[in-house]
Amino acid sequence: MSDISTRTGARIVAPDEIYDVDADIFSPNALGAIINEKTLNRFRVKAIAGGANNQLIVPEMGELLRRRGILYAPDYVINGGGIINVCAEISGTYLRDWVDAKVKALMVTLGEVLDLAMESSEPTNLVADRIARQRIGRTD
């Protein structure tokens, strides 16, 4: 089913073939548990970053991605902008500057997660979980 767009160079593949495509980024969106024992070794990407929730079928997949040299941007870190905007919308006092500041803070948090993961050789999902627990005052 491979078809190459002459305008963009993009290649169209069947849904199940997407895991085997050589690319810089795999971006799972609207489908959770997409990183699992059936797909893990098929990825031919440098990074996984997308808007789907719960992309890792189990937390251990983060370590397996790290071992394969695939950078994983934890879903709930990069996916937070949508909920921030919705929060502002339903508050009744939507302030674009407040939303922008919160989204910029997410970018800083992602950088923090990636830096700490590289320094500690830990998977990014575990680093993000630890930071989240610290920020809400939980130690478990």
- Could you read off the pLDDT of 68-126 as tens digits, one per residue? 999 999 999 999 999 999 999 999 999 999 999 999 999 999 999 999 999 999 999 99
List the chain domain ranges: 3-135
- The pTM of the full predicted model, rounded to 2 decimals, is 0.88
Rg of the Cα atoms in the chain:
17
Please name which of 48, 7, 8, 52 lies closest in space to residue 24, comparing C-alpha atoms.
Answer: 48
Q: Round to whole Å and give the CA distance between 99 and 89.
A: 10
pLDDT digits (tens, 9 = 90+) for 19-33: 999 999 999 998 899
Q: Give dist(CA 108, CA 85) in Å, integer.
A: 17
Residue pair 75/53 in contact by the 8 Å Cβ criterion: yes
CATH topology of domain 3-135: Rossmann fold (3.40.50)
